[in-house]
């Protein structure tokens, strides 16, 4: 049991750092996209700095954290395979699969921006940043409640939270446009 708790602690630590990396990388994407619209020499100076920052965050924190969180999760399931029989765990694993897809899409965006291919607006990136938040809420509710039905209340809350975020985003956008 002591080993299980150590592995569980390490899993949680790396999940936290993984999410921190995912939250911050998209924020850096916003800054990088906005820097691209600035006049020279600010554009070149900022783009160079943001490329360095995103590289370090992505490859030194985010990717290693995602890999280590996954390794410790698999180890936990190996130590306690009965978790895989629980219906709530099946739902959680669906959200984890969505998190992997989100991470992969962030990787594609990262590669585009490193190659000066600006395919998205900063507004899109601000909304995209909420994807990890929604997944985090769903997974936390599932893990804490350990019930495949009660998590629905959490997900409804997530959607309401998302609506509030969208409204807040629109309000913030109007304030920024007035400046």
**Annotated binding-site ranges:** 11, 92
Nearest to 127 by CA among 92, 173, 160: 173
Query: Buried b / exposed e across 41-61, counting CB within 10 Å, b at 16+?
Result: eeeeebbeebbeebeebbeeb
- SS3 state at 71: helix
Cα(32)–Cα(108) distance, rounded to whole angstroms?
Answer: 15
Spatial distance between the Cα atoms of 106 and 23, rounded to a whole number of angstroms? 10
Annotated binding site for heme: 11, 92
What sign results for the dihedral spanned by CA atoms 139, 145, 146, 149?
Answer: negative
Q: Where are the alpha helices (DSSP H) in 38-150?
A: 42-56, 63-79, 87-114, 122-128, 130-145
Helix (H, G, I), strand (E, B) or coil at 117: coil
């Amino acid at each position: 049991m002591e080993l299980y708790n150590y592995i569980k602690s390490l899993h949680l630590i790396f999940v936290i750092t993984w999410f921190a990396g995912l939250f911050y990388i998209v924020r850096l994407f916003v800054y990088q996209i906005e820097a691209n619209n600035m006049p020279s020499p600010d554009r070149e100076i900022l783009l160079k700095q943001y490329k360095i920052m995103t590289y370090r965050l992505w490859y030194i924190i985010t990717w290693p954290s995602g890999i280590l969180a996954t390794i410790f999760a698999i180890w936990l399931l190996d130590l306690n395979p009965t978790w895989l029989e629980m219906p709530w765990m099946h739902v959680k694993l669906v959200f984890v699969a969505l998190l992997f897809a989100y991470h992969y899409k962030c990787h594609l965006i990262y590669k585009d921006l490193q190659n000066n291919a600006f395919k998205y607006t900063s507004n899109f990136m601000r909304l995209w940043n909420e994807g990890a938040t929604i997944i985090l809420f769903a997974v936390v509710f599932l893990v804490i409640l350990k019930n495949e039905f009660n998590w629905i209340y959490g997900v409804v809350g997530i959607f309401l939270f998302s609506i509030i975020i969208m409204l807040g985003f629109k309000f913030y956008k109007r304030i920024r446009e007035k400046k």
